[in-house]
């Protein structure tokens, strides 16, 4: 007896439809990324981060009294560092806390170099003093920068790493943006041309300085990554890949902005100390710029390797070139007393950072400038 072909065809059609509908269920729309950051929850989410930033600003203000020849007390610095809950000490790497606190720590050295004694670069003697509007320890290193700029990495970026994960919430994204130093406005400027409540500060300020505002710079790329991260976080389950991509981009761009700023300050130091018969102001400004470079670099030491490209061994090697090894007395003054032999080390620092972060030759040239000032934005 012949069987009808019709039921077989119908069964195959139904099976095909079921399999097709199951495949459709696994698909999801492409992530929609807005052109602006949703600021609706920013203020409510970020009181801790704003308090930490305010604490660092207050600490810096206290340290800068030494520039005017005033005596700065170690106890006052430690009190400001530990004020609040949480406080700077709580979010800083154990390594950097060890460099700042206690007898012989950088707070102690800063206090000793304050008080108005004039600093003359040369064979170390005394406790240091002021030169060209800044003040240095006896070795020619500016402790203020070792504290402030070092904490950009050791405290602020270190705190940021505790927020980063595939499970991070929209509140965490706001907190990450705040500790970076930007606002939902993404002004790409810290100048008086923008309202004070939306000016970029801390690392965001330096990323803006390194950005030509042509749509391709470090600050602009970081903004794009934050928009993607916020959108992926809001979209929820199924967008973990986009979330991870945005997190990876933010980490690397933050680190690149830090490296680009080190390069900028190496350029400045070379330029000022290569001049014929530099003035006291030139020398002070050069050692200040140099010390910023050392601080920006040193603060990333012991940040967990999974959160940075540079290794601690590479940091240590660069610190040696900078005459400020992590495990020995610095000889920063040599850039002033023997510039012919010492300044080429700063060019080596620039070259090694260029290779590590794959900066182009044009990038290295562009990093010489503060683009916020250049463009008056």
The pLDDT, as a whole number, for residue 278 is 96
For residue 21, pLDDT over 70 is answered with no
User: Residue 353: which of 341, 342, 363 has the closest Cα?
Assistant: 363
Residue 10 has pLDDT above 90, yes or no: no
Domain boundaries, the chain: 34-375
Per-residue pLDDT tens over the stretch 65-95: 999 999 999 999 999 999 988 899 999 999 9
- Digit-coded pLDDT (tens) for 244-271: 999 999 999 999 999 999 999 999 999 9
Arithmetic mean of pLDDT over the chain? 93
Using a cut of 0.85, tell me whether the model's pTM lies above it.
yes
* Residue 26: band (very low, low, confident or very high) from pLDDT cuts 50, 70, 90: low
Q: Residue written as tokens 């600050």? A: 219
> Is pLDDT above 50 for 7?
no
Report the 3 state secondary structure along 44-110.
HHCHHHHHHHHHHHHHHHHHHHHHHCCCCCHHHHHHHHHCCCCCHHHHCCHHHHHHHCCCCCHHHHH
Q: How confident is the model at residue 346 (pLDDT cuts 50, 70, 90)?
A: very high
Cα–Cα separations (whole angstroms), residue 145 to 158, 322, 348 = 18, 14, 22
Residue 14's pLDDT is 43
pLDDT of residue 58: 97
User: Hey, which residues does 131 pair with through a beta bridge?
Assistant: 134
Q: How many helices (H) and strands (E) does the chain have?
A: 19, 2
Residue 225 has pLDDT above 50, yes or no: yes
9 — pLDDT class (breaks 50, 70, 90): very low
pLDDT surpasses 60 at 16 = no
Residue 354 has pLDDT above 60, yes or no: yes
pLDDT digits (tens, 9 = 90+) for 315-327: 999 999 999 999 9
Which residues have CB under 8 Å from 48's CB, separation 6+?
86, 175
pLDDT category, 6, cuts 50, 70, 90?
A: very low
Q: Confidence class of residue 2 from pLDDT cuts 50, 70 and 90? A: very low
Q: State pLDDT tens for residues 199-213.
A: 999 999 999 999 999
Interatomic CA distance for residues 202 and 149, integer angstroms: 9
Residue 28 has a pLDDT of: 83
Residue pLDDT, tens place only, 56-66: 999 999 999 99
- Residue 130: the pLDDT is 98
């Amino acid at each position: 007896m012949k069987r009808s072909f019709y039921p077989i065809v119908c069964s195959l059609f139904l099976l095909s439809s079921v399999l097709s509908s199951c495949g459709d269920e696994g698909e999801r729309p492409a992530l929609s990324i807005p052109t602006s950051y949703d600021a609706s929850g920013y203020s409510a989410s970020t009181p801790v981060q704003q308090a930490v930033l305010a604490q660092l600003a207050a600490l810096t203000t206290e340290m800068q009294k030494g520039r005017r020849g005033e005596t700065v007390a170690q106890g006052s610095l430690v009190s400001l560092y530990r004020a609040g809950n949480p406080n700077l000490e709580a979010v800083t790497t154990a390594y950097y806390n060890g460099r700042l606190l206690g007898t012989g720590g950088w707070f102690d050295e800063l206090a000793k170099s304050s008080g108005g004694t004039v600093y003359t670069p040369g064979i170390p003697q005394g406790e240091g003093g002021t030169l060209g509007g800044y003040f240095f320890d006896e070795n020619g290193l500016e402790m203020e920068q070792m504290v402030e700029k070092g904490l950009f990495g050791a405290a602020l970026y270190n705190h940021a790493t505790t927020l980063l994960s595939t499970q991070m919430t929209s509140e965490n994204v706001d907190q990450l943006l705040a500790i970076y130093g930007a606002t939902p406005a993404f002004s790409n400027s810290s100048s008086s041309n923008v309202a004070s409540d939306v000016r970029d500060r801390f690392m965001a300020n330096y990323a803006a300085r390194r950005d030509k505002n042509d749509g391709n710079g470090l600050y602009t790329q970081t903004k794009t990554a934050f928009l993607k991260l916020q959108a992926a976080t809001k979209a929820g389950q199924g967008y973990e890949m986009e979330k991870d991509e945005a997190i990876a981009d933010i980490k690397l761009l933050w680190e690149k902005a830090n490296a680009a700023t080190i390069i900028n300050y190496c350029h400045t130091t070379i330029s000022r100390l290569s001049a014929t018969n530099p003035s006291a102001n030139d020398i002070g400004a050069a050692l200040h710029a140099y010390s910023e470079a050392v601080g920006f670099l040193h603060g990333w030491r012991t940040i967990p390797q999974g959160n940075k490209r540079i290794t601690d061994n590479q940091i240590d090697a660069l610190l040696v070139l900078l005459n400020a090894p992590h495990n020995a007395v610095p000889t920063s003054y040599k850039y002033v007393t023997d510039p012919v032999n010492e300044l080429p080390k700063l060019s080596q620092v620039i070259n090694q950072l260029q290779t590590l972060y794959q900066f182009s030759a044009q990038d290295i040239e562009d990093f010489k400038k503060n683009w916020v000032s250049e463009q008056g934005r």
